[in-house]
Structure 1
């Protein structure tokens, strides 16, 4: 990295504002905890390196390919409730190394914060400074979940939570900006090399695997509506097992989970609706809500605005 990071900060008012945790790459992201969505997202860039730092206040599930051409390091900085990264329980300081083109799947409950670093795998030895020699022979083609020693994890997360927002708000000299840019990169490297020395490649817990299979079955845009009985039959699990899996991983039952997915899909439909045929009633029915009044109440409770307000923003 020959130049210093430059930053942009934007507020998060709606779930779709978090669709690019890594700048330039869209992922599927859904809100599953009711309430107005709020937070902030910082994007930094220097040469071919991208940095992200985000905070948000509602439960979300993100899934997709972070980057098609870069390795992405995703760090859980803080969480008020349970979080999982690729079906593995995570705690502040947990890091995932996601190779280019690989899919991630993360769930966060309550207030959470994260940091990310995206880079070309070929530049890793030179990029990571004093840690470069350890990464020279590292295989960054496999997904790795790193749980560093707690003291190291606490130190790195506290440092990033302090440094990145300050850099985004400050005007520094070129030398100062370059110094702190290097500090950010080496903070990630300290965690990554800990994992590569003794990689912890956890197997997804059975409950998380079931939730992931349900996500695969229904898809991000719900091109087909599914009943619980259809899902149980397709996955060859009982209703009790399905309910236990969702309660364990997401903290809500499968019926509520599917309703939240339908609400998120309805929101995307409202944002892209073309008049006059696309009305709130039509979109509600298309997404499995036969009571428009109840749909509006669910929607307002989830997103902090009524569906008609979302539709009007489109026009």
Structure 2
């Protein structure tokens, strides 16, 4: 992964702006619907990995030439009319796989919104590590359509939009120390819908839960204070999400996602206690630990520590508005 970070957003005034619909990849577009095209296009770039989210108000024809050696995984976020890619009729939150060097053919019959993740094919082994059916690069060499689960798909869409919104307005939250966490968080939103479309996998051996938990905690200790995503742990230890979840439930009575959130909250608490008022903000510390829904973060914090984050920072009583974090 390269060492450059990008957060960029612009308003669209004409279909030509959608030539860059996917960051780093040229897309041929033609307007189908009548009227002046309006919309927005935002990009997050982390090295060779990117997330693009676009929205437009009229029908469009899109084609991608076969000169790009990157894998593109897309999700339909909104549509007022039919959307078709190749022979696939897309429903809300469905995931589309466009393999490297394959021509793409899409038609949006009305106003729509999409998200597109672009990455090196070799990166799937680390991003989806622990999930054997997703971590094999060969599994992504064929075009594919994955039907989203209604509940999980809606959650994934909200998360992607929230990540883009918060990083767009809080660019300092995308730093080199947290870039890997954001990359994995974005990838998981796509993976959730792919996994829900696959048959259940009940294989896999559950090692001694406490031995596995010790390996996880050793790994977390070695990473220092940066936030760590569940998929990173699965890749590093070679275990599936299902196996990890069962181990955490057996030992702690809660899942690995909740455990890691508690750990990140503790890190925020310690940083705030050690910081002088005026030297930092609650929002910046929270973003550094991967909390992008800052209103929800404040609720988690209050529930866990019995005080607002502003009270921890400097040991004073304050209102949550004083933290500089409104609703998510």
TM-score, normalised to structure 2, is: 0.55
Q: Is the CA contact (8 Å cut-off) linking 2:70 and 2:119 kept in structure 1? A: yes
Q: Distance in 2 between matches of 1:24 and 1:9?
A: 14
Gap change, CA 1:183 and 1:7, over 3 Å in 2: same
After superposition, the C-alpha distances for 1:127-146 in whole angstroms (9 at most, x for unaligned) are 23564x44233521111111
Q: Distance in 1 between matches of 2:139 and 2:48?
A: 20
Name the counterpart of 1:305. none
Name the counterpart of 2:126. 126
Q: Distance in 1 between matches of 2:66 and 2:199?
A: 24
Q: CA deviation at 1:100?
A: 0.3
Name the counterpart of 2:135. 136
Per the alignment, in what secondary structure is the counterpart of residue 139 of structure 1? Answer: helix
Gap change, CA 1:76 and 1:91, over 3 Å in 2: same
Q: Distance in 2 between matches of 1:156 and 1:91?
A: 14
Per the alignment, in what secondary structure is the counterpart of residue 135 of structure 1? Answer: helix
Q: Distance in 2 between matches of 1:147 and 1:89?
A: 10
Q: Is the CA contact (8 Å cut-off) linking 1:87 and 1:105 kept in structure 2? A: no
Name the counterpart of 1:16. 16
Name the counterpart of 1:30. 30
Name the counterpart of 2:47. 47
Gap change, CA 1:86 and 1:16, over 3 Å in 2: same
Gap change, CA 1:65 and 1:165, over 3 Å in 2: farther
After superposition, the C-alpha distances for 1:4-52 in whole angstroms (9 at most, x for unaligned) are 8531111100001101212232222111111111111112211221211
Q: Distance in 2 between matches of 1:150 and 1:166?
A: 25
Per the alignment, in what secondary structure is the counterpart of residue 172 of structure 1? Answer: helix
Gap change, CA 1:5 and 1:135, over 3 Å in 2: farther
Gap change, CA 1:129 and 1:40, over 3 Å in 2: farther
Gap change, CA 1:5 and 1:193, over 3 Å in 2: farther
Structure 1: state its 5+ residue gaps: 199-315
Name the counterpart of 2:150. 150
Q: CA deviation at 1:153?
A: 1.3
Moved over 6 A (4+): none
- Give the structure, 1 or 2, with the largest relative contact order (CA under 8 Å, sep 6 or more): 1
Name the counterpart of 1:182. 184
Structure 2: state its 5+ residue gaps: 201-328
